[in-house]
Amino acid sequence: MVRPHAVDFVVPGSLETRTGGYEYDRRIVAGLRARGWSVETRELDGTFPRPTAAALAAAARVLAALPDGATVVIDGLALGAMPEQIEREACRLRIVALVHLPLGCEVGLDAETAAHLRGAERRAIVAARLVIVTGRSTAAVVEGYGIARNRIVMIEPGTERVPLACGSRGPQRDNRDGDSRDGPLQLLCVATLNRGKGHAILFRALASITERRWRLTCAGSLTRDPPTVQRLWGQLRSDGLDDRIVLTGELDAPGLDALYDRADLFVLATLHETYGMAVAEALARGVPVVSTRTVAISELVGDDAGILVPPGDEKAFTDALRAVITDPGLRTRLAAGARRRRDRLPSWEDAVRKMSEALGSVSD
């Protein structure tokens, strides 16, 4: 029997994984439960989106065990990697694709691999009844798969309503006027250390900035892309920056809150971004941003809360970073813009309400 107002969420690996995509999934699951939905989570093998044969077989068993007519939300990291299983079950399950980053858009893929992933993902998404995307760039990719616009629902991540950051000068700093020379400017980057987040560009940019003392803290997984992390450690050592740039690994929510609170500037040299949850978190605290001009980040930051440059343009990123680090007046103006932007950010309540409505339309 299918439960009324019930949904199963299928995710690859642990739902507690600390990335933006999994944070989105956790928030949506908790929010739906708070609205009265019965939500079951199904965790697949962690090898997705490049599953082993055993992982695919186990995923097929998970789907086969669900009752006819069940509404099933499947995270795109799993869905796009098992088109045959999705096509087989789509005739009896109400499958909803939840796509954060299209598999073929991952930075660093060779042309053959990207084409294979796009083909597999397209098959799986075509079989779904509805496609939830978290940003405009992803919506454009899904439309390119031949999906009608009325089968695509964009539900952007929400942002918590949090206090303004104190910055490096501590709680006594109630605004960002002036410039403290008592200690280094505190820079923050929150992102998994992988090929797509542009840490190498960020580190090279900072290596050339000697006009002002600074310290960078990078919070994000050090285990999801080991080759990239090893290269970055080598880069830090060769540039003599290993005492000024700290790689913390993954942090829990209180740890991240503490970093955001003492940050003077948020920095992210990402090469591709479907939304930019970490950027939104910085703006929610009134922290100015130096990042790249992806569609979503441009919409979040606008022209008054930070400086954005084309992805991959190392010189432009370096120039922007130098300008904000060395000019306290510019930082003050951008921080004021960030404080204005914080009130326009969507809330998690908005996101959960939209998800509930979307799933209700599939379940009815």
For 276-329, write each residue's pLDDT tens digit: 999 999 999 999 999 999 988 999 999 999 999 999 999 999 999 999 999 999
Domain ranges of the chain: 6-158+346-363, 185-342
For residue 20 the two structure tokens come to 């933006």
Amino acid at 283: L
CATH superfamily to which 185-342 belongs: Glycogen Phosphorylase B; (3.40.50.2000)
Segments of the chain assigned E as strands? 6-12, 38-44, 71-75, 94-99, 130-133, 152-154, 185-190, 214-219, 245-249, 265-267, 289-292, 306-309
Among 189, 196, 190, smallest CA distance to 274 is for 196
Per-residue pLDDT at 179 exceeds 60: no
Tell me: the pLDDT tens digits for 70-123? 999 999 999 999 999 999 999 999 999 999 999 998 888 899 999 999 999 999
- Number of helices (H) and strands (E) in the chain: give both, helices first: 14, 12
For the structural domain made of 6-158+346-363, what CATH number should be given? 3.40.50.2000
